[in-house]
Copies of this chain bind each other. A is one copy, B any other.
Amino acid sequence: MDRTFPSLLARMQELKDLQGVIGLATWDQETYMPAKADEARAHQLSTLQGIHHERLVDPRLGEVLAWAAEQPELGEDPRAMVRVLTHERDRAVRVPQALVKALAEAQSRALVAWRQARKEKRFALFQPALARILELRREQADAYGHDGERYDALLEGYEPGMRVARLTPVLTALRDALIPMVAAIAAAPRKVPELLAGRRFEAEAQWRFTLKLLEAMGFDLEAGRQDRSIHPFTGGTHPRDVRLTTRIDEANPLNALFSTIHEAGHGLYEQGFSEPHYRTPLAAAPSMGLHESQSRLWENVVGRSLAFWEHFHPALKEAFPQALAGVDVGGFHAAVNRVTPSFIRTEADEVTYNLHIVLRYEMELLLIHDELPLEDVPAAWNERMQRYLGVTPPDDVEGVLQDIHWAWGEFGYFPTYSLGNLYSASLYRAAERALPDLTDRIRRGELLPLTDWLRTHIHSQGFRLPAEELIRQVTGQGLTDVDFLQYLRGKYSALYGTSL
């Protein structure tokens, strides 16, 4: 075995190249792939993933990593690379191949069952498949290893370093602060009307406007691109090849506007990795929550702010002179921040959104702990919806069957959305402290100072530190709901003319 850092680096690069190509094949699947290529693409992806897995668990990689871990003279970045890859490899090695295969099969069955259950609006049809998924994910959590909290082992796959013991108190406090806030907004004397319904926004003009937004945010369209897909996402193959998608709906321009801003937040992160980290494990965010903090910072904290629209609203009116006739910036700003308890998470505003997440997090803990009979899941869901948001879904499609995540086997994923929200508010506060005229510059359409600040303090750091450590380094404190709640109170008190 070749015990040198260059030989290790070559293995890291190969793994990253494979991930890049998997990214391309996945992006293509959602954008340009012809319909009949479905099965062929599934084979191609499974072959690539199989080769990636084989390279990752290769005992020779394990040996050279073990050797490298004992070489302090390698320097800080190489040691961080070794740490990150060792962690990824250890987790992969611990799951027996039979379990990997069983999970893949269970997931593909669960997807079919979930679709059928949605069609017939009956959770019961999904229940046996979900039972199997849960059984295997528990087994997988035990294979990964944990200190008695199985959910930790799953959470680790999305939010390395985060633990239930750390997360639950924060999310519970958040929940308990949000429930009365939602109620207070509902009771507020001022109402925000649904301003944009019934108007038509031409697709091509929407597309051009999203490109302007990308440019203003500093997304490099020579090192990335934007396309259309049914579900917007950020993918790509490399920091110099970052691919966003957006969704254009002629009845509602907010889809495209906020999808583009959201995905560009992810995209700037990917483009912002440091060049010496390219093709290494450090060219990655340390967690999904931190990645999400970037999309939500841009989409919500910046993109739904009055300052932002003070600049962009005139251009938007110019793009849609008829559709936006009579809509002033205040009315538009209010319309894009309308708070309404609703059944569907992906349509939720930023006040109610985290209650959808806490609900799922609590349900996931019960399910992974096997503390909730599966036949009781819809009732438990609906009961919480009523308690947290004051609404009860009319059926399972608008309730427990709405998200695809559980059918994919993704337990531990949902909380990263809330982590993204909490981190985004803390980061924006830190940016305000560092750039005292930040809001004024946004009001002038100058978004690049914020992009630069994020690039320096977050993006270019890559995976050097775990998410919460990086947040602590940048903001002076770790995970907290204080900044987020303060942000919500300030913004929505003003919008709804009530003290929250």
Contacts and interface: CB of A to CB of B under 8 A. Distances in A.
Given A18-B47, A278-B40, A279-B43, A35 B237 contact: no
A48 B13 CA distance: 12
A36 interface: yes
A36 B237 contact: no
Given A44-B17, A44-B21, A240 B32 contact: no
Interface in A21-49: 21, 24-25, 28, 32-37, 39-41, 43-44, 47-48
A34 B278 contact: no
Interface stretch (A220-228, A430-438, A447-455): A220-228
A357 to B, nearest CB: 34
Nearest to A50: B14
B36 A25 contact: no
A218 interface: no
Contact of A34 (B28, B47, B240, B279): B240
B237 A14 contact: no
A417 B107 CA distance: 49
A340 to B, nearest CB: 39
Residue with the greatest number of chain B CB neighbours at <10 A, chosen from A21, A35, A223: A21
Contacts of A279: 40, 43
B34 A241 contact: yes
Contacts of A41: 237-238, 241
Given A34-B224, A34-B225, A34-B241, A43 B21 contact: no
Contacts of A44: 17, 20-21, 24, 237-238
A239 B222 CA distance: 32
**This chain: how many copies in the complex?**
2
Interface in A291-312: none
Secondary structure class of chain A's binding surface, majority of residues: helix
A223 B34 contact: yes
A379 interface: no
A40 B14 CA distance: 12
B21 A241 contact: no
A497 B220 CA distance: 59
Contacts of A47: 13-14, 17-18, 21
B21 A238 contact: no
B48 A21 contact: yes
A222 B36 CA distance: 6
Interface residues of A, number: 38
A192 interface: no
A21 B21 contact: yes
A251 interface: no
A177 interface: no
A44 B48 CA distance: 12
B21 A237 contact: no
B240 A39 contact: yes
Contact of A13 (B18, B24, B37, B43): B43
A14 B46 CA distance: 10
A51 interface: yes
Contact of A51 (B40, B51, B220): B51
A467 B279 CA distance: 42
A28 B28 CA distance: 9
Contacts of A28: 24, 28
Contacts of A240: 34, 36-37, 39-40
Interface in A262-307: 278-279
A412 to B, nearest CB: 30
Contacts of A20: 40, 44
A241 B48 CA distance: 17
Given A32-B225, A47-B17, A225-B32, A241 B37 contact: yes
Residue with the greatest number of chain B CB neighbours at <10 A, chosen from A18, A239, A241: A241
20 contacts: A13-B47, A21-B21, A21-B44, A21-B47, A21-B48, A24-B28, A34-B222, A34-B223, A34-B240, A35-B222, A35-B223, A37-B223, A37-B240, A39-B240, A40-B237, A40-B240, A40-B241, A41-B237, A41-B238, A44-B238
Given A17-B43, A35-B223, A40-B240, 10 more contacts: A32-B32, A33-B241, A34-B223, A34-B241, A35-B222, A36-B222, A40-B239, A41-B237, A44-B238, A51-B51
Interface of A: 13-14, 17-18, 20-21, 24-25, 28, 32-37, 39-41, 43-44, 47-48, 50-51, 220-225, 227, 237-241, 278-279
